[in-house]
């Protein structure tokens, strides 16, 4: 509260107190100043409560900018730093000592996940740089984040490309490149697209995204495996340093239950990271019959086209009626297609409340 506020409160409390004291001074009472004191206290507190909203108080608190130090803790850092690991740690701690007066430093380590307790151990088998950036900035989004410092060798085998990582706040990210800055040779299976649920004895498509770096002019082969056995192959030729393509396979689901499939690319000569050359996924194959009823007012070319398309899927059993009858009742069908029904002056099937 400012000085004017307190002066007003004192003045409002003091005025009636003086008047009471002057009045009581002429009377024959034991303690002439006590009523005046009580009146002052009462009026002072009342004024303080009533005037407080008119004099809002502000409190300024300075907070140092927060520096998030995201240390790559993956096993590949052992190779990046080599014998300089101890020297690197000493330089980092010297840098922290320079910053401690001006910044609040938050050291964090990451590999597959983010933690505070294992800096400079370099034992993580996976590296997800994008997730670490997102998680760190989200955890401290209510603080004044000055910057994110990211010492890393730049090698990641999980998650998004760090360039497209969604950050909790719009904060600057400064990277410290460690180890060999050249892009290593690498071919990888980045993503696979396939239906999770497939009908028995039906054909389904598998699409695999393949990426190759620093392998311009080389040829390789992408394979799809079912329970470890190759069921399809597709050759590709890499024609640039940063190459990507999608490879399509079509296979038949001939076994019920959960089936394991894999997309495999053999390691290239000189490739160091082979963990991303294979991607496994599962497809559930079901053996259930789905009945479809087509109600038509009359024969029509559209009906034949719809029926042909549906019957190309083995588990679809299609029934077509043009006389309004519903064999077995509506409850027997999973899907009813009405074509020009009801027709004026023509067939009026009894669909009940369905």
169 and 193 share one domain: no
89 and 170 share one domain: yes
Q: Give the pLDDT of residue 283.
A: 95
Residue 29 burial class via C-beta count within 10 angstroms: exposed 0-12, middle 13-18, buried 19 and up: exposed
Distance CA 255, CA 342 (A): 42
3-state SS string for 59-81? CCCCCCCEEEEEEECECHHHHHH
The whole domain housing 309 covers 290-339
* Number of domains composing the chain: 4
Flag whether pLDDT at 343 surpasses 80.
no
How does residue 47 score in pLDDT terms, banded at 50, 70 and 90? confident
133 and 79 share one domain: yes
Bridge partners of residue 213, in order along the sequence: 186, 242
Q: Give the pLDDT of residue 219.
A: 95
207 and 169 share one domain: no
42 and 140 share one domain: no
Q: Are 258 and 251 in contact (CB under 8 A)?
A: no
* Token pair 């003086």 in the structure block, residue: 18
Residue that finishes a domain, picked among 149, 177, 205: 177
Q: Give the pLDDT of residue 266.
A: 96
113 and 152 share one domain: yes
Residue that finishes a domain, picked among 254, 286, 318: 286
71 or 51, greater pLDDT: 71
| 347 occurs within a structural domain | no
Average pLDDT over every residue of 326-348: 75
**Of the segments 163-167, 279-283, 286-290, which one has the largest average pLDDT value?**
279-283
Q: Give the pLDDT of residue 204.
A: 93
DSSP code string of 174-236: EEEE-S--SPPPEEEEEEEEE-SEEETT-EEEEEEEEEEES-TT-EEEEEEEETTEEEEEEEE
202 and 279 share one domain: yes
CATH assignment of the domain containing 278: 2.60.40.10
Q: What kind and span of H or E run contains 19? A: helix 3-25
In the DSSP assignment, the letter for residue 334 is S
| 350 occurs within a structural domain | no
Average pLDDT over every residue of 249-267: 95
Flag whether pLDDT at 352 surpasses 70.
no
170 and 230 share one domain: no
Flag whether pLDDT at 250 surpasses 80.
yes
pLDDT for 294-322, tens place per residue?
A: 888 888 888 889 888 888 777 788 888 88
70 and 170 share one domain: yes
| 158 occurs within a structural domain | yes
Q: Smallest Cα–Cα separation from 122: which of 186, 79, 178?
A: 79
- What dihedral angle (degrees, nearest 10) is formed by the CA atoms of 139, 142, 147, 153? 10
How does residue 354 score in pLDDT terms, banded at 50, 70 and 90? very low
190 and 281 share one domain: yes
Q: Smallest Cα–Cα separation from 222: which of 236, 211, 242, 212?
A: 236
Distance CA 209, CA 353 (A): 48
120 or 347, greater pLDDT: 120
| 78 occurs within a structural domain | yes
Q: Which two tokens stand for residue 246?
A: 């999608």
Residues 6+ apart with CB under 8 A from 283: 194, 195, 196, 197, 198, 204, 253, 258, 259, 261
| 314 occurs within a structural domain | yes
pLDDT for 139-193, tens place per residue?
A: 998 888 999 999 998 888 888 888 888 886 778 999 998 876 667 899 999 999 9
Percentage of residues of the chain with pLDDT beyond 70: 94
| 323 occurs within a structural domain | yes
Q: pTM for the whole thing? A: 0.46
Q: Are 265 and 224 in contact (CB under 8 A)?
A: no
273 and 222 share one domain: yes
Flag whether pLDDT at 324 surpasses 90.
no
| 348 occurs within a structural domain | no
Helix (H, G, I), strand (E, B) or coil at 14: helix
* Token pair 């007003």 in the structure block, residue: 8
As a whole number of Å, the end-to-end CA separation of the chain is: 72
Distance CA 237, CA 260 (A): 27
CATH assignment of the domain containing 122: 3.40.50.410
Q: Are 216 and 243 in contact (CB under 8 A)?
A: yes
Phi and psi torsions of 19, nearest 5°: -65, -40
153 and 210 share one domain: no
| 217 occurs within a structural domain | yes
Q: Give the pLDDT of residue 303.
A: 87
Cα–Cα distances (Å) from 102 to 92, 136, 173, 329, in that order, read 16, 21, 18, 79
Distance CA 277, CA 341 (A): 55
């Amino acid at each position: 509260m400012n000085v004017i506020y307190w002066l007003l409160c004192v003045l409002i409390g003091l005025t009636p107190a003086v008047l009471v004291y002057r009045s009581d001074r002429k009377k024959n009472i034991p303690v002439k100043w006590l009523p005046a004191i009580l009146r002052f206290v009462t009026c002072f507190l009342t004024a303080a409560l009533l005037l407080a909203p008119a004099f809002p108080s502000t409190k300024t608190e300075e907070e140092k900018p927060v520096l998030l130090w995201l240390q790559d803790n993956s096993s590949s850092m052992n190779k990046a730093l080599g014998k300089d690991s101890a020297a690197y740690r000493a330089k980092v701690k010297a840098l922290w000592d320079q910053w401690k007066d001006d910044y609040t430093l938050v050291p964090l380590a990451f590999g597959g996940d983010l933690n505070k307790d294992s800096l400079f151990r370099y034992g993580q088998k996976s590296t997800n740089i994008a997730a670490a950036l997102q998680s760190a900035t989200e955890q401290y989004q209510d603080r004044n984040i000055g910057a994110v410092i990211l010492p890393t060798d730049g090698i990641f085998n999980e998650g998004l490309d760090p360039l497209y990582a969604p950050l909790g706040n719009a904060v600057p990210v400064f990277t410290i490149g460690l180890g060999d800055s050249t892009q290593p040779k690498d071919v990888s299976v980045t993503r696979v697209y396939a239906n999770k649920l497939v009908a028995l004895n039906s054909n389904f498509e598998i699409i695999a995204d393949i990426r190759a770096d620093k392998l311009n002019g080389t040829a390789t082969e992408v394979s799809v495996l079912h329970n470890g056995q190759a069921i399809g192959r597709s050759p590709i030729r890499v024609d640039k340093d940063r190459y990507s393509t999608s490879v399509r396979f079509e296979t038949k689901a001939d076994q019920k239950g959960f089936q394991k499939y894999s997309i495999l690319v053999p390691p290239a000569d000189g490739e160091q990271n082979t963990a991303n050359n294979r991607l496994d996924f599962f497809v559930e194959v079901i053996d259930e019959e789905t009945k479809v009823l087509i109600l038509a007012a009359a024969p029509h070319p559209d009906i034949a086209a719809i029926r042909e398309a549906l019957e190309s899927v083995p588990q679809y059993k299609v029934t077509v009626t043009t006389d309004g009858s519903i064999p077995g009742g509506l409850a027997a069908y999973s899907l009813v297609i009405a074509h020009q029904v009801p027709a004026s002056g023509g067939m009026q099937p009894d669909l009940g409340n369905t």
